[in-house]
Structure 1
Amino acid sequence: MTTSTTQRPTASDVTVTTGRGLRRAIRGELSRLFGTRMPLIAIILAALSGLVPTGALVLGGPGTAQPPMPDIDSAAGVSTALGLAGVSLFVPALIGTIAVTSEYRHRTIGATFLAVPRRGQVLLAKLLCYAGFGLTYGLIVVVAAAIGLYGAAALRGMPIGMPIAVVVTLLLRIAVTAAIYMIIGVAIGALARHQLAAVGIVLGYFYFLEYLLMIIPGVNAIYPFLPGGAAAALTQFTFITDSVGATGTLSAPGLLPPVAAAAVLIGYAAVASCVAVLLPLRRDLR
């Protein structure tokens, strides 16, 4: 008499299978991303977001702005000029949100989950792909901002009041912040699923709610711990908070040190990513 035994999968087998599924999900996500016009549109937006505000401010002279800003022959002036590129960081968050909600809107998410049945792998693949895409977006922004800064300064014959190494560090912070914002956008899209609602959440929060909280006495003490406050500290763009304090009616909310601000932003991205991966596992596709 012969007996048949079913060999149970080992931990290494499960790891290999999981790794293959994740790689397949990443390949599928990259195919969907580069099969659309979104990368081209994002590149154009990134270049404009970096070049136009920084170049226009430096060329026109920060001292002519209202209220006047320090000129680029000082470190504060350089930080302000480059920080303008970070004002549009809601754009990568919006891109990440639209990328995910578009699959629900066009009813293609079902086919995506059928191709890779483990939803967690699909959503993890989206987060990984768009983290890389967000970093690429941020690098394009900062390269364009650097061109705007040094090009406009050369036209004016104005020296740059910040060492090149410090400028590079600041630009890299902006690029990393863009990647984190895109991860947060993907997470919001995965959770909200409805495109108009998700876009409304992103725009309403980053364009309205954070600024509202910043000007409410007492409440603005939490601003440094919000994504916008952490991003302002990380990118050293303090013009908006300084303007609030310059009114004389409100105290400017203090910002965190850059290292603490980076930890806060990474924390937001980590929590949003975990929720975005785990919660949809228990929800239907409707």
Structure 2
Amino acid sequence: MRLVRSEFRKLLTTRIWWVLLIVEVAYVAFIAGLFALLFSTGADLGDGAAAPAPEGMHELVYSAASSIGYVFPVLLGTLAVTSEFRHQTLTPTFLTTPRRSRTLLGKIVALAIMGAVFGIAAFAIALLVGAPLLAVGGLDTGLGDQETWLMVARGVLALMLWSIIGVGLGALVPNQVAAIVIVLAFTQFIEPILRTGAAVWEWAADVGKFLPGAASDALVGASFLSMAAAPGSSSALLEWWQGALVLVGIAAILVGIGSFTTWKRDVS
């Protein structure tokens, strides 16, 4: 507990966590509101009528919290570690806590909790913005459905796992600029391109569903990036528990490699 409290103090004394949180909330609010507005107004068929909205539109609106919001907790986890290497604040920490694995574990616990905070904030704003707009359009908000709240709970878990993945990446790639470039390039460009290819080419579908973002969407249960995948096709998402296992595996691999390589080096 002492190490976890110490990690929280170090994290909360910086501006980065609340800057990322504000940007996340604003971004999710915009995207969720945009989707809800589009679904509510419907598509113009040319005769003034609106196309009937498919079922589950509320899930796509609310899941924007995770499908686009996951980049913020992974960035937070990455920056929490790389900032320590950059400013050499790890040196006094390692002097007071010689067992470096305990320091890394404390950081993982602290960032997992912050990931939950980011997840709750993201889904709260998606619900607050999306539900009224869906209701105005006469669409089901899903607020009375148990599955909606299970999706929210799984989404919070997904963002917790993403924050741990960020810690692992930061431990593996201590250079802050390089780590940020890797996160942004992969989440915003590389994986979306790979997932688009997986939806188009059958031979790539079996690999595409195991990509981190696809696994995260599978854990949550909905995503606008997976709308093109038919439920019975090979490009459809994994089961939610399979998606969770993929994210846990990625986090474990990154943390494990980082702890046995970079984390063991002399930081003085």
Fold match (TM-score > 0.5):
yes
From 48, 54, 65, the counterpart of 1:85:
65
Q: 1:147 to 1:37 in 2, by over 3 A?
A: same
Structure 1 residue 240 and structure 2 residue 229: aligned?
no
Deviation at 1:207, TM superposition (A): 1.7
Q: 1:276 to 1:124 in 2, by over 3 A?
A: farther
Identity of aligned residues (%): 30
Q: 1:175 to 1:161 in 2, by over 3 A?
A: closer
CA offset digits 1:150-188 (Å, max 9, x no partner): 222344444325743111111111111111111101110
Contiguous gaps of at least 5 residues in structure 2? 45-49
CA offset digits 1:53-101 (Å, max 9, x no partner): 1123213436349xx9974xx5421121112222231121111111111
Structure 1 residue 259 and structure 2 residue 241: aligned?
yes
What is the number of residues matched between the two proteins? 255
Structure 1 residue 231 and structure 2 residue 216: aligned?
yes
Q: 1:212 to 1:30 in 2, by over 3 A?
A: same
From 201, 204, 211, the counterpart of 1:219:
204
Structure 1 residue 204 and structure 2 residue 185: aligned?
yes
- AA aligned opposite 1:135: A
Contact 2:77-2:167 at 8 Å conserved across structures: yes
TM-score by length of 1: 0.79
Contact 1:242-1:252 at 8 Å conserved across structures: no
Contact 2:25-2:125 at 8 Å conserved across structures: yes
Q: Distance in 2 between matches of 1:70 and 1:221?
A: 32
Q: Distance in 1 between matches of 2:97 and 2:16?
A: 23
Contact 2:142-2:148 at 8 Å conserved across structures: no
2:47 maps to: none
Contact 2:71-2:187 at 8 Å conserved across structures: yes
Q: Distance in 2 between matches of 1:95 and 1:69?
A: 41
Q: 1:140 to 1:224 in 2, by over 3 A?
A: same
2:107 maps to: 126
Trace 1:21-36 onto structure 2 (pairs within 5 A): 23-36=1-14
1:41 maps to: 19
- AA aligned opposite 1:121: R
Aligned-residue Cα RMSD (Å) equals 2.6
Trace 1:108-147 onto structure 2 (pairs within 5 A): 108-147=89-128
